[in-house]
Amino acid sequence: MNHQSAVNSYRDALDLSGAFIRRTNLSGVNLEGADLSGADCTNVDFTGANFKNANLNKTILRGANLTGALNVSRRQIAEAITDKNTILPQHLLP
Amino acid sequence: MDILSQATSEIFRNYAFVAGGCFGLYLAWLRVTAANKQAAAQLKQTDLARRDHVSELFNRAVGQLKDKKLEVRLGAILTPEQICKDFPDLSGPVIRLLTTYLKENTVKYGDKRPPVDVQVITKILREFKK
């Protein structure tokens, strides 16, 4: 069993609701369907992460870097708590 | 007449050789099949034994995740990571365990760098949840 198959084997959505994960690096992580509600993701690096159907209700995204993040919608961002330091993906920039 | 009976007996002898050869092949095939079955059973046994060992490692890791010493907690995080690599079908429980640890982790480190155990778990997530 090689490592690549290991990488591809975990398909369930992550549950990180309420987690305190400030300043962590979650770049490139597949957060499809993940529950990040109420999580403190201040200054988290989400570069290139996939947010398809992720629950961002009251997720603290202050200073978080979402450059190149995939499938993030305006609705998700509206539900989250952001500030002027939050770096949004290109398609959500005003 | 002698020539005819000699030829007939030679034909019978040749048939007997062929029949003997076929029977020998059949016995060899039976033996190979039995050996293959035995090897497969042994492999299964080894796999089961390894899984038992892995379950034990996993349970031990669960018990050590709340340890006060960082190095013990790190070991408890890195062992499941190895389980993920060796047994991809067990990566589900491992990832659930580690994310639960992140959720239940009560250490609020403010705006400082995350503790090493949190960093290692997020590294594992980057690796296994692409």
Is B95 close to A29, i.e. CB distance below 8 A?
Answer: no
Helices (H) and strands (E) in chain A, counts: 2, 0
**Two tokens at A81?**
């708590």
Q: What is the pLDDT of residue B55?
A: 87
Q: Which of A15, A20, A42, A47 to mutate to test the interface with B (most CBs of B within 10 A)?
A: A20
What value of ipTM does the predicted structure carry?
0.86
Cα–Cα distance between B78 and B82 in angstroms, integer?
6
Cα–Cα distance between A5 and B35 in angstroms, integer?
31
Closest by Cα among B52, B56, B124, B50 to B91? B124
Q: Chain B partners of A42 at a C-beta cutoff of 8 Å?
A: 111
Q: What is the mean pLDDT of chain B?
A: 90
CB A42 within 8 A of CB A63: yes
Closest by Cα among B85, B119, B86, B90 to B102? B119
Q: In chain B, whose CA is at the least distance from the CA of A15?
A: B99
Of A33-37, B11-15, B103-107, the poorest mean pLDDT is in B103-107
Q: Chain B partners of A30 at a C-beta cutoff of 8 Å?
A: 129-130
B108 pLDDT more than 90: no
Select the residue of A6, A18, A28 nearest B85 (Cβ to Cβ): A6
Question: Number of A:B CB contacts under 8 A?
Answer: 85
CB atoms near residue B109 (< 10 Å): 13
Q: Which CATH architecture has domain A14-89?
A: 3 Solenoid (2.160)
B101 alpha carbon, distance to own chain's centre: 27
- In tens digits, what is the pLDDT along chain A, a chain of 94 residues? 444 444 444 678 899 999 999 999 999 999 999 999 999 999 999 999 999 999 999 999 999 999 999 999 999 999 999 999 999 998 888 7
List Cβ neighbours of A79 (8 Å cut-off, separation of 6 or more): A56, A57, A58, A59
> b/e map of A35-56 (b: 16 or more CB within 10 Å)?
bbbbbbbbbbbbbbbbbeebbb
Task: Give this prediction's pTM.
Answer: 0.76
Q: Could you state, in order of their start, the residue ranges of all structural domains in chain A?
A: 14-89
Is A3 close to B130, i.e. CB distance below 8 A?
Answer: no
Encode pLDDT of B63-94 as tens digits. 998 898 999 999 999 998 998 888 888 888 88
Sign of torsion over alpha carbons B86, B90, B95, B98: negative
Q: Identify the residue whose tokens are 């398909």.
A: A11
